[in-house]
Chain A
Amino acid sequence: MSVTSKAGRTDTSPERTEDQDLGAAGSQLSTAPKEDQPNLPSLGVIGWARWFWRQLTSMRVALLLLLLLSVGAIPGSLIPQTGIDETKVADFRKAHTFLAPVYDRLGLFHVYSSVWFSAIYVLLFVSLVGCIIPRSWQFVGQLRGRPPGAPKRLTRLPAYTTWRTETEPEQVREAALALLKKRRFRAHQAGDAVAAEKGYLREVGNLAFHIALIVMLIAFAAGQLFKSEGNKLIVEGDGFSNTLISYDDFKSGNLFTNDDLVPFSFTLDKFTGTYEASGPNKGTPRIFQAALTYSQGAYGKDKKDLVKVNEPLEIGDAKVYLTAHGYAPVVTVRDGKGNVVYRDAVPLLPLDSNVTSTGVAKVLDGYKNAKGVSEQLGISAFLLPTYTKGSETASSFPALNNPVLNLTPYHGDLGVDSGIPQSVYQLDKAHMKDFKDSKGAQLRENLKPGETMKLPNGAGSITYDGTKQWANFQVVQQAGTDWALGGSLVAIFGLAGSLFIQRRRVWVRATRGADGVTVVEMAGLGRSESAKVPEELGDLAGILYDRAPGAPEPDEASTTDASTTDDAPVDDAPAVASPDQDDTATPDPKVVPAEGAETK
């Protein structure tokens, strides 16, 4: 009824019995490994090693390893990972004092580089290699050999047809050989039959896919080992040159050396950010782009380019990504005598989606207070790019529509010489004192661009000159990307080939019957889900039938032996029973009693 059904019971192995039935005909239709029953190894190191290797390269163990790989990947998506977000990991550690040490032991904060996860995929890939190499050899052997000859009883094959013809057997075989070769089968004549096979690309695709997986893994590993990734915040007008010390932070793989950095430099000319001005999504970013002037090498020519969120700048092996942006108010600090001691753009970090920003301007040296004593100044800055009356602590729009800068100055010792690393965005107030205004309260003032605030008692002044923008750039160098891409493309095509191409064999036997009439028998065999095998066989039979037309039956056939006659007058073309048409076309004897059982 149905064509082939590998989906039958789980306790039997249809292929194996099939293969035994068919002898050599069904052999090597694929290079899939035979399933060995696990048997106890003979003693001795070599015996054990052999047993272990056989287990590892068996399909069953590969399947288990695949399952383990998918299960093992789950915790990494649910537990914060150091490789993705370190602050989240830190928060988690604070919140879970009991779990965190346990997780640490199990490597759950870096699942994808943990020993156990690595062990799973390394074993899987060893198993894969152990499977692929013998299969490749075997396949080469199959390509050099010829399709196996016809089995004795073609009737036992999954798809079968036969007819009688007046044409000579040799002519039928020649016609069959020509037809099959024209259909791009590998065909040859063996004894009284033509043996043909097609669909070798299935195995090619299968092998290519698995080899591509190995290439992808190696490319990924190489990419991790030779990778470098650095971040740099740049204010409009400032420049950057690609050296290690220029970065704000820098991470690299184990095999990366500083000489690997691509020599280039660039200047941020202008950053442009636009936002939805109205509607329900007011404030949603629309355009982010940074205009750069860059040059490659020490004496390269200046070139201009735009970097956008999805469009990094590529310089040699390095890629420059735009990852964040913000505002940098330009602040001028004067001492009591009116000397400019500080003038700089102070990058502030955004706090919310409307770019309410905060940061610190640090005046390290050059400032003398009213008494002429050298002091350091620290000025807490808080910027609302769009100030709306009534909303004093948060910006109401991300663009610079009505910027207001709130400044809180302190004086004293910034503590930058203490040797402890300090954030440029935070103020250590341990040794700082605030200024008092005329009422004795802490001095703080809101400034609009161009406005100046006076420090009390002739201590100087601070001017908000205007606002620049800054952009954060991530510079990434990753090796092996091309290999990974190439591998993945091969993987897709290989996969498609191995899943969509059918590997199948066709045999055509032509023999002279007892009454001198030629009996043609055709049979087809496919390895996999083979609805197409009978269809194709019917197609081929139809064409061959035209070249070797049917002869009249001998006397009324009194037999139901399939090998002698079959001319059920149902359809005009060779009828093909495929599962999809089962209900309609095929008079399957087994169905008849069932349908007779219908009651209505």
Chain B
Amino acid sequence: MTLAAGTELATAANEHLANISNTLIYSAMAVYTLAFFTYIAEWIFGSRSKIGRTAAALTPGAAKSKGAPAVTVTKAGGTAVLERPKVVVRSAAGARDVPDGPGAHGGDEQGDLYGRIAISLTVLAFLIHLGGVVARAASVERAPWGNMYEFNITFSTVAVGVYLTLLALKKNIRWLGLFLITTVLLDLGIAVTVLYTASDQLVPALHSYWLYIHVSTAILCGAVFYVGAVGTLLYLFKDSYETKLENGGTPGRFATSFLERLPASSSLDKFSYRINAAVFPLWTFTIIAGAIWAESAWGRYWGWDPKETWAFITWVAYACYLHARATAGWKGRKAAYLALIAFGCWLFNYYGVNIFVSGKHSYAGV
């Protein structure tokens, strides 16, 4: 009798926590929406300033310096004070020499202000969002990734977390803000409308500490792959813009205003390569952790279950991308397409396999 009463109390507390979690998720969505509009404001105000660094660097007639040896600027004066040596960097032969864009605000002060407000709002929304995920975890007394709803809300938290961490590390990544928040809103929207599942316990098959290891790394990989994919996509746009300029074309006004403010295509490409390369070993680990778990849960470490197969396909696709970047004739755009395909495979593995294909991972609770 006492035991039953205790259980009921616990259940009530859990439902209370679950409600708190829901409220927090909705609040986070509201703040993300505010952040979204503020990012838009940043882009709009930024369009007032007409910066044409890329155009200036690439338009025929402008200072052509491709492939020429780098030159050190020697400044006169200051002979008495001995300065330390400065390292000169020289880009590889054949590479475009294009400066990075100034970011969404385009050097406009008001735009910059809005951008900063947007980031503050993102931080606030992130904290609320994180609170929602933690409350959800507390309400179910386990890791918050037992079904697709929980996976989605955790996934977007981690994606925003990755963005804010890179910002905190002073990486040149502010340009990602608008694209990221748009996706996060979409992701949360799908989560609360289509995927919502009341908080509950897990089936015995999921009672394993590997749940914490395997799924958390899968989420982290997905979030980082996503950031890499946005970089790759923008690289493709920026690269065609630069190519057009180089060939003497005049890109449209919108493209100019938008793409001028992004980093140079080579920076974007390098950014996404680093992101993808950094997380690829972790993805490998995720698959192997899954295999170890499968070995103890299902009696085999690899059985070509659809989820396993698509994890493998994703892995091979990213391996293709990494190899392509080291293969003549595949660098640049072709490799970038491979990176996008690879991320598409990851997405399909998450949504497609859960929804359209039935397999041993089907308890994920669509």
Task: List chain A residues, Cβ under 8 A from B313.
Answer: 70, 73-74, 77
Given contacts A163-B85, A312-B299, contact A499 B325 (CB under 8 A): no
Q: A306 to chain B: closest CB distance in Å?
A: 13
Q: Mark A562-600, 1 if CB is under 8 A from B, else 0.
A: 100111111111111111101100011111011101111
Number of A-B contacts (CB under 8 A): 355
Residues from chain B with Cβ under 8 Å of A587 in the complex: 73
Q: Which residues of the partner chain A approach B19 to less than 8 Å between Cβ atoms?
A: none
| CB pair B79 A562 closer than 8 Å | no
Q: Chain A's nearest CB lies how many Å from the CB of B154?
A: 20
- Chain B residue nearest in CB terms to A491: B284
Q: Do A552 and B79 have beta carbons less than 8 Å apart?
A: yes
Q: Which of B11, B83, B208 has the most CB of A within 10 A?
A: B83
Residues of B within 8 A of A579 (CB): 100, 172, 267, 270
- Closest residue of B by beta carbon distance from A550: B82
Of A522, A529, A538, A567, which one neighbours B78 at CB under 8 angstroms? Answer: A567
Interface centre among B53, B69, B94, B313 (most CB of A within 10 A): B94
Q: Is the CB of A159 within 8 A of B200?
A: no
A134 interfacial contact with B, CB 8 Å: no
> Quick check: is B84 within 8 A (CB to CB) of the other chain?
yes
Given that A2-B91, A529-B273 are known contacts, is A10 also in contact with B333, CB under 8 Å in the complex?
Answer: yes
Q: Would you call B277 and A499 a contact (CB within 8 A)?
A: yes
Known pairs A73-B312, A78-B357; A478 contacts B88 (CB<8 A) = no
Q: Which residues from chain B contact A499 at a C-beta distance below 8 Å? A: 277-278, 280-281, 322
Interface string of B264-297 (1 = CB under 8 A from A): 1111011001100110110011001001110111
Q: What is the number of residues of chain A that contact chain B, defined by CB distance less than 8 Å?
A: 131
> Interface with B: A171-179, A277-285, A297-305, A366-374, which one?
A277-285
In the bound complex, do residue A8 and residue B92 qualify as a contact, i.e. CB atoms below 8 Å apart? yes
Least CB distance, B335 to chain A, in whole angstroms: 8
B219 located at the interface, meaning its Cβ lies under 8 Å from any Cβ of chain A in the complex: no
Q: A66-B320, A284-B203, A594-B62 are in contact. Are A560 and B88 (CB under 8 A)?
A: no
Segment of A14-22, A189-197, A419-427 in the binding face: A14-22
For residue B88, which residues in chain A have a CB less than 8 angstroms away from its CB? 155, 159-161, 562, 566, 577
Given A279-B200, A568-B86, residue A155 in contact with residue B69 (CB < 8 A)? yes
A444 to B339, CA, bound (A): 65
Interface size range of chain B in the complex: 35 or more
List the B side residues contacting A74 at CB < 8 Å. 309, 313
Distance of A571 Cα from B85 Cα, bound (Å) = 10
Q: Does B2 contact A (CB under 8 A)?
A: no
Given known contacts A63-B320, A560-B74, A594-B52, A10 and B84 CB-to-CB distance under 8 angstroms:
no
B27 sits at the interface (CB 8 A): no
Q: Is the CB of B82 within 8 A of A567?
A: yes
Q: How far is A32 from B326 in the complex, measured between Cα atoms in Å?
A: 9
Assess whether A309 is in contact with B204, with CB atoms less than 8 Å apart: yes
Q: Which residues on the B side are within 8 Å of A229 (C-beta)?
A: 299-300
Q: Mark B239-277, 1 if CB is under 8 A from A, else 0.
A: 000000000000000000000000011110110011001
Q: Which 8 A-B pairs have the closest CB atoms?
A: A5-B95, A594-B56, A8-B95, A70-B316, A7-B269, A562-B72, A77-B309, A12-B94
Given pairs A2-B266, A14-B93, A568-B75, 10 additional interface contacts (CB within 8 A): A2-B89, A7-B265, A9-B332, A10-B334, A73-B312, A73-B313, A84-B359, A158-B91, A161-B88, A556-B76
